Amino acid sequence: MSCPFCNNKSKIIAIEKKETTTYRMHKCISCNKKFNSVEKLLLRNTMVIKRDNRREKFEEKKLLNSLSIATSKRPIPTNSLNAILEDITQTINDSDINEVSTKIISKMVISHLSRLDLISYVRYASTYQDFISIDQMSHELQELSSNPANNHQQQKLFNEQYI
């Protein structure tokens, strides 16, 4: 690190570490002045607020697990799941929040799944039914089924199994 007084080289004469922070004392080899620097590890440790208000570290692994359960045995490529996972993780990381509720995460998952696969959507939404009202769900399903771009095979399966 160059000396802030004369811009010449300095040497480190002491190091102290406290958790994720490193303090270094430098001494200029030219003017002999001492100065300190602080190096801090920037960790994004987003916490998830659970339904019972407990907090736990946000882990992609857990999110992927809930996605895998909802989409199990559905013809969904792993790529699609990874894309959802990436998008949600990115959204959380890009926002300046340190805490996110499971409710918000569920809503993001639900919005992705509703576009991807009806069965997975219903499976996931019914797990989190206290977050999503029956009215809201049937409204969304109606919108999905009135969308001509929707996969007919999927719609058929949905009718057979769930209505």
Q: Which residues bind Zn ion (CB under 5 A)?
A: 3, 5-6, 8, 28, 30-31
Cα–Cα dist 68/128, whole Å = 15
Minimum Å distance from CB 26 to Zn ion?
9
Cα–Cα dist 52/20, whole Å = 30
Nearer to Zn ion, 10 or 106 (CB): 10
Nearer to Zn ion, 4 or 75 (CB): 4
Classify 150 as helix, strand or coil: coil
Minimum Å distance from CB 38 to Zn ion?
19
- In this structure, the chain runs to a length of 163
Token pair recorded at residue 48? 């998830």
Minimum Å distance from CB 33 to Zn ion?
5
Nearer to Zn ion, 30 or 36 (CB): 30
